[in-house]
Structure 1
Amino acid sequence: MAEQLAPMPGDWRRALAVVAHPDDLEYGCAAAVATWTGEGREVTYLLATRGEAGIDTLEPAQAGPVREREQRASAAVVGVTSVEFLDHADGVIEYGTALRRDLTAAIRRHRPELVITLNFDDTWDGTVWNTPDHRAVGRATLDAAGDAGNRWIFRDTDAEPWDGVRWVAVAGTDSPTHAVDVTDGLEAGVRSLIEHRAYIEALTDEDPETYARTFVEDTVRQAAKHFNGDPAVTFRLYPR
């Protein structure tokens, strides 16, 4: 019997999802977001970049607006109406106080109980090297969750300190601790990834709908064996 994961906490109302690029949340995590918004919870997306360096066939000045439009459409599919961009440079995000301040300001402004981010480990599956942007944003998000409650750090943000973050949940990690049943959000999660059509068409010759459905459904099925057989999205949960 495969080791079973604990269910994600359910006693929260507001979440802030913080990632580096458009499409980061759609590779699996969006099905969880759809499940949560379907239950009446509020989820906001915060992206460090507009993904302008993510399409090899488009110059950044062209790619950025395309990817922003795709991200907003993608978010709408899973019930997210608030999507913000910080305009850090795609591909060269620097971990440091400037990034931490921007994320801290957003956490204080949105006042989430749950903060979500993406795998910031060195690798995916132990062999595929992770990108510097993912590593920088993920680590800075964990730090900002604490910074947000400290009134003596980043004192120039518009919003008052917020010490109400109860958990940071990291999606896409090789060492998850928790999961959420996404039976109700799975189809929306697939459609959410399909909205990144320009990105997918530049990435693969496979039909975007086939590509998106295969990726998302395979991911949640793999997780199911660790969550009572239910299609699931997994997280490494850091309580605060």
Structure 2
Amino acid sequence: MNLQPQPDERIQRALVVSAHPDDADFGAAGTMGRWVNAGIEVTLLCVTHGEQGARPDADVSRLAGEREREQREASAEYGVRDVRFLDGYRDGWVEPSFDLQRDIVRVIREVRPQRVLCQSPERWYDRLQASHPDHLAAGEATVRACYPAAENPFAWPDLGLDFWHVGEVWLMAHPTSTHPVDITETFEAKVEALRRHSSQTGHREELESLLRSWSTGIAEQFDLPQGRLAEAFRIVPVNAPRESQDEPPHEDG
């Protein structure tokens, strides 16, 4: 089934959640750039500071701060200024715990996004690197936070924030993506964003050609016109668009 998302003009706010700095830039920087250009307010939330993502000779004591700085600079390349990091979650040790779900629910209720983009909680065996255990855990926690937790007024009322119905979830690096986004016009911003991650990818001379090859392959997979570039996602509808958020949550069953 090829489920279609809501048109961008119906979306005012979007939240993107990733396990580490640079994850979202690899999977969705071009798409986030398109959303920003369409007038959508985009917030990026990183679960960890990515302190284990380094070359063997790196100064690990400084890496968390460096990677946070890199992500903020990268996000600015495609127009995202609201970049947030959770504290207390260790790179390489992420689990979809109730604490993590609660922290993501807090951000959902603060941002109040109609659209949430996160990593797939389903493992992609044909491209295992995309299914890092932290990615799977962050994706699972985010999906659980979107439904049912964020929209249940009885879940974590101590947060002091009104419940919120997320309309749709976009999964990146899903084994069966269904929806392409043409990023031809925002591809250069994606490349520049990933170059900002100097501790990770900025030194790679083949970076642009690698990203272009991936994006071309996705565009061809979805029969986009020749020369176009794309990112792809699995679309999961959660709630139909509504005029008011003051409705009770759906039944658990």
Normalization by structure 1: what TM-score?
A: 0.89
Aligned to 2:97: 96
Summarize the alignment of residues 21-170 of structure 1 with structure 2, pairs less than 5 Å apart: 21-55=20-54, 56-87=56-87, 88-125=89-126, 128=129, 130-146=131-147, 147-163=149-165, 165-170=166-171
Q: 1:213 aligns with which of 208, 217, 221?
A: 208
Q: In structure 1, give the amino acid aligned to 2:69.
A: R
Give the secondary-structure state (helix, strand or coil) at the position aligned to 1:170.
strand
**In structure 2, what is the equivalent of residue 238 of structure 1?**
236
Q: Which runs of 5+ in 1 are unaligned?
A: 202-206
Q: 2: CA distance between counterparts of 1:238 and 1:227? A: 22
Q: Secondary structure at the match of 1:197?
A: coil
Query: Deviations for 1:92-128, whole angstroms, at most 9, x for unmatched residues?
Result: 1122111110011110000000000123322352555
Q: Distance in 2 between matches of 1:36 and 1:142?
A: 21
Q: In structure 1, what is the equivalent of residue 250 of structure 2? A: none
Q: 1:81 to 1:66 in 2, by over 3 A?
A: same
Residue type of the partner of 1:106?
Answer: V
TM-score normalised by the chain length of structure 2: 0.85
Q: Relative to structure 1, is the Cα distance of residues 49 and 75 closer, same or farther in structure 2, using a 3 angstrom cutoff?
A: same
Alpha-carbon offset, residue 215 of structure 1: 2.6
> Structure 1 residue aligned with 2:224, among 228, 231, 240?
228
* Counterpart AA for 1:133: D
CA RMSD of aligned residues (A): 1.9
Shift of 1:129: 7.6
Work out the percentage of aligned pairs sharing the same amino acid. Answer: 33
Q: Which has the higher contact order (CA 8 A, sep 6+)?
A: 1
